[in-house]
Structure 1
Amino acid sequence: MNLEQALNVMKEKGYKHTGKREDILALFSREKRYLAAKDVLQALQGTYSGLSFDTIYRNLSLFSNLGILEETELEGEKKYRFACSTDDHHHHLICVECGKTKHIHTCPMDTISEEESSFTITGHKFEVYGYCGACGERRSSTGA
């Protein structure tokens, strides 16, 4: 997903294009990592002095429902990032410090037997949490 695609999804679904919405989406386009609502608020407070968490959460929820943003929960906090542009099935490695992600193309669902006929699988989500190379090195050098 990129900014133009995100704005087109909003338009196709009949949602109003506002400067705030575009700026929120532009932030995700630039960052390419998971962001919390507080990150969005900090980034846009200088531009929109009256911006509230309610406005941020309402828009993040809308973007998530429209499939523009993906969400996850890290350390008890919802975080969001642009939905992946790739159509191939994959999962993510997620850095718990900086929020950067990396695709992994193996899937644990491949090990589940299709013979399990008493359970109908409707979907799944698999994420691996840890530290990216840069954050891991920083933690090692500071003894954290």
Structure 2
Amino acid sequence: MNAEKALHVLKENGFKHTKQREKLVEIFEGKDQYLPVKEILQEFQENFPGASFNTVYRNLYTLVDLKILESTMLNGEQLFRLHCDTHGHHHHFICTICGKTSPIDVCPMDEVNKSLQGYQIQNHKFEVYGTCPSCH
């Protein structure tokens, strides 16, 4: 997803186009990795020095709810990235050194469903961690 499409999704869902939201989305553009909130806040505050952690965090979660951003936890830290342009359901490989991500099209849920017959699964998350070729 690019910034233009993300801002269109915001508008479609009744959110105003603000310079702050535009900057927040632009921070992620061109980065194929998850970013920690601390790094996002630091870059955001270069343009909006008075912005609080809570304001940025609240907007990040709005963008996650609208499927503009994806989030994950790594080493106890919440990370965010622009939603992949990959069509349909997918998972990620995440480099533990540089944070670069690569989509994984395989999903283990067919096997999980077989082993949990009678259970009703509501959601799942599957991520693979390691080092990418550049960091290896």
Match in the other structure for 2:63: 63
Match in the other structure for 1:81: 81
Task: Tell me the TM-score normalised to structure 2 length.
Answer: 0.90
- Alignment partners' CA distance in 2, 1:88 and 1:42: 32
* Secondary structure, counterpart of 2:49 in structure 1: coil
* Secondary structure, counterpart of 1:33 in structure 2: coil
Structure 1 residues 9 and 113: CA distance shift in structure 2, 3 A: closer
Q: Do the aligned partners of 2:86 and 2:103 also contact (CA within 8 Å) in 1? A: no
Match in the other structure for 2:123: 123
* Secondary structure, counterpart of 1:45 in structure 2: helix
1:98 has 2:98 as partner? yes
Match in the other structure for 1:5: 5
Amino acid at match of 2:50: G
Q: Would you say how many aligned residue pairs link Structure 1 and Structure 2?
A: 136
Structure 1 residues 48 and 121: CA distance shift in structure 2, 3 A: same
- Alignment partners' CA distance in 2, 1:62 and 1:9: 11
* Secondary structure, counterpart of 2:58 in structure 1: helix
* Secondary structure, counterpart of 1:46 in structure 2: helix
* Secondary structure, counterpart of 2:35 in structure 1: coil
- Identity %, equivalent residues: 48
Match in the other structure for 1:26: 26
Amino acid at match of 2:16: K
The structure with the largest alpha-carbon Rg is 1
Match in the other structure for 2:35: 35
- Alignment partners' CA distance in 1, 2:105 and 2:6: 25
- Alignment partners' CA distance in 2, 1:58 and 1:119: 34
Task: Tell me the TM-score normalised to structure 1 length.
Answer: 0.86
Gaps of 5+ in 1: 137-144
- Alignment partners' CA distance in 1, 2:98 and 2:53: 21
- Alignment partners' CA distance in 2, 1:90 and 1:30: 20
Aligned Cα root-mean-square deviation (Å): 1.6
Amino acid at match of 1:124: H
- Alignment partners' CA distance in 2, 1:2 and 1:43: 18
Q: CA deviation at 1:116?
A: 4.0
